A and B are shown apart, each in its own frame.
Chain A
Amino acid sequence: MAEMLIKNGFVFDPINRINGEKMDIAIKDGKIVGSVNERRAKKIDATGLTVMPGGVDIHTHIAGAEVNTGRLMRPEDHVKDVVRKTPLTRSGVGYSIPSTFVTGYRYSKMGYTTIMNPSMPPLEAKHTHEELNDTPMLDKASYPLLGDWWFVLEYLRKGDLTECARYVAWMMGTSKGYAIKIVNPGGLESWGFGRNVHSIDDEVPNFCITPREIMCGLAKVNKMLNLPHTIHLHTNNLGLPGNYATTLETMRALESVASGDKPVAHITHLQFSSFAGDGWGNMRSGAEEISKYINAHNHITFDMGQVIFTDTTTMTADGPFEYTLYELSGHKWVNTDIETETSGGIIPFHYKRNNAVNATQWSIALELALLIEDPWKMFLTTDHPNGGPFFAYPKIIAWLSSKKARMATLKKCHKKAQKKSLLPSITRELTLYDIAIVTRAGQAKALGLKEKGHLGVGADADIAIYNINPEKTDIARKYKTARRAFGNAAYTLKDGKVVVKDGEITQHVDGKTIWLDVQTAEQVKVDEEMKRRFKEYWTVEYDNYPVFDHYVKVPSPITVKADV
């Protein structure tokens, strides 16, 4: 395979502590190498350009039954963003829930190369993988929803962590998943009976277990199995005023699992879990309290869940929350129970600047991102499409790296939200180095993806080159330049191939699907008892349940040796 040399770029590679040094990057066989034959190698002249590892997105709903139902219920969302085919690319639609191909193309145009699809009900795993197969340009993985799975609840109640771990390991292979996703632990099972849990010590009906026990139990299981990522947690009471107290309590509860400086939990779309106040009327930001806690502790990482002022579609496994949203907005909605595993809900939502609550949400996410000092704990997401579509990331980069940019948006927001916002008092502006952490390096590190998010020897040659000259352009002042540059990568390389040039797709590649092959000393026995349970509790037979190897177009399993 061809050798390649990226010459003279300003390289930002935080994992290897390279901060804007002018250097060359050599590529051979889709991997980064120490050097190549300079005469033979194809050269990319990156003089005056910024070179970063390919973007990594830790949390973005891009495939699966939920996403597809969202597509089906929103024809009006697609009609305004129709994408025609070109000789290289396929047709599709964009806006809040783009079709799979457009998802791949648009991520690639922004210089992203790896994404994580964060909520996959194991029952819908086949559907999810079918869609992932059709999402080009990207490496991807999915997190199975395990926080309310009956097997997990049962073994945790019995206190049998080893057996629980074996089942989780089995499920990772069966659903071809990557990390343990927990959504509103206990709440989803309760929702099957029209109830919800309102604190981390409420009991789940029929299971005599509390959200605290589920989260801590699965965090321990995560450790026992040596999974590369931590548990991926969507907190209880999400999206309700005053929920920052629940979030604080959740983080405190997880302290018991922590040891050393290693994170044990990733709290996702933290913005939605950081509301203070006791009603929508006096809802305000809880970012100050939350950031104080996270600054003082090292066992938590989080992503923003930034809100974008646009018409979008919310979709989460948190059925009760989606129902609350329906009651607030009166919009068309979908809500479903996924048998023994989880629930789900979808509702379109329009975030508006002149709505005090929405504008406060916008402010909270930025406050969190800026008040939490260590960028390795914070990652940039919109919880696509819940806070807004992913192609708004360049806007968020501008807000984070330029006070001027965020003040310009804040000025247009609802007066009440402006008054309550902490943003005017925050002067911090993220540098290009910080941006490289929050959009790729930190995310890859948190995910335990050793070959992603950096440009050291041996890493995958997933590289993004942006049209920013850090010597000439100050992104804090020229935020519009930064926004344009991050929206249209000068080059995106996937496995050493140039797939985007000047914001246009130049080549179609299929990305890999990553999953975990967790090897436990003793495996779960798929015996008659288990098959009987499938017959009794599921709508599918056991034989039709697992995602078989041939289901995945470009498989890339990671073997993990467990302690049990």
Chain B
Amino acid sequence: MITLSPLKKFQYPVMAECINPDVFKGKTTAEIAALSVWEGNKQKTLGDLFAIEETAAENPSIVINGDASKVRRVGMGMKNGEIVVNGNIGMHVGEKMAGGKITVNGDAGGWAGSDMKKGLIEIHGNAGDYLASPYRGSSTGMRGGTIIVHGNVGSDSAVFMRGGVIKIRGNAGPFLGFRMGDGTVYVQKECGTRVGACMTGGKIIIAGALQEVMPTFTIDSIKPKVKVDETETAAGPFYVFLGDLAESGSGKIFVSKAVNPHLSMYEKYL
């Protein structure tokens, strides 16, 4: 197990894609300290910015203690092992992740789990905007794996999602699941507007309040419960909306009936 502690409060973004169990594997502490990172526009080594300690324990592979909210791209492309962050973490945590586990005992910045393929990210605080969404302009969103956020998330989550499961225990911002094609998003509390805009497939489950459903969605039925994944089922009843019809989509939005009495006007179309 490698423990990293920031040596100072970072003023500039630190690009640290080398903080990855696959990269650290088989390296001595000295070799790890020599890995290159960028702090702002200066190239540094990991040892310049972090105190690095090694202990005999196998799991987790990497622990970051302290405020790493300026440290970006941690666990980028990782395939194995586990990273635990005791504190906040910066943008792009677990980007392009293909396996393993990342636990954040704090808040995560934007683009957590962006372009993720496999593995598990668990964030015990809040997540920023663009959770599991692709880089700007790209149309490859999350394709697999699981993300669990115990707090709230910002806007534009699950954009271009193509597979996997996202569970948000708190609130979600607007534009959740924009252009989503497959996969499941479960929001346990309130959800922002324009949910599922341009979606063509997949399902979004909203157990909390939702102000409105986009006019390009049509009501399909009322379901008593809906399966989130193998281990979890959301209890309803839920209104089921189909759309986005502007894109000839067949995505489904499940909205809690009990919490959203203002949507009862849709019942007459059933």
Contacts and interface: CB of A to CB of B under 8 A. Distances in A.
A149 to B, nearest CB: 33
A87 interface: no
B198 to A, nearest CB: 11
A76 B140 CA distance: 10
A540 interface: no
A480 interface: no
A194 interface: no
A75 interface: yes
Contacts of A331: 139
B16 to A, nearest CB: 16
A79 interface: yes
Interface string B133-159: 011111100000000000000000000
Nearest to B136: A75
- Which residue, A73, A76, A332, has most C-beta atoms of chain B within 10 A? A76
B225 to A, nearest CB: 34
B54 to A, nearest CB: 32
Interface in B103-151: 134-139
A461 B183 CA distance: 59
B135 A79 contact: yes
Contacts of B134: 76
Contacts of A73: 137
- Size category of the B interface is under 10
A332 B134 CA distance: 15
Interface in B225-269: none
A73 B138 CA distance: 10
A79 B136 CA distance: 9
Interface residues of A, number: 8
Contacts of B137: 73-77, 332
Nearest to B200: A330
Interface string A47-89: 0000000000000000000000000011111010000000000
Nearest to A331: B139
A75 B135 CA distance: 8
A74 to B, nearest CB: 6
A346 to B, nearest CB: 13
A77 B134 CA distance: 12
A76 B134 CA distance: 9
B101 to A, nearest CB: 26
Contacts of B136: 75-76
A374 B139 CA distance: 43
A293 to B, nearest CB: 40
Contacts of A74: 137
B18 to A, nearest CB: 16
A331 B137 CA distance: 11
A151 B1 CA distance: 74
A73 B135 CA distance: 13
A76 B136 CA distance: 6
A76 B138 CA distance: 5
A262 B135 CA distance: 51
A74 B138 CA distance: 8
A74 B136 CA distance: 8
A329 to B, nearest CB: 10
A281 B258 CA distance: 50
Contacts of A79: 135
B243 to A, nearest CB: 17
Contacts of A75: 135-138
A75 to B, nearest CB: 4
A80 to B, nearest CB: 9
B25 to A, nearest CB: 24
B73 to A, nearest CB: 12
Contacts of B139: 76, 331-332
Contacts of A332: 137, 139
A235 B134 CA distance: 37
B183 to A, nearest CB: 18
Nearest to A74: B137
A75 B138 CA distance: 8
Nearest to B115: A76
Contacts of A76: 134-139
Interface of B: 134-139
17 contacts: A73-B137, A74-B137, A75-B135, A75-B136, A75-B137, A75-B138, A76-B134, A76-B135, A76-B136, A76-B137, A76-B138, A76-B139, A77-B137, A79-B135, A331-B139, A332-B137, A332-B139
Interface of A: 73-77, 79, 331-332
Given A75-B135, A332-B139, 9 more contacts: A75-B136, A75-B137, A75-B138, A76-B134, A76-B137, A76-B139, A79-B135, A331-B139, A332-B137
Q: Which 4 A-B pairs have the closest CB atoms?
A: A76-B138, A76-B137, A75-B137, A75-B136
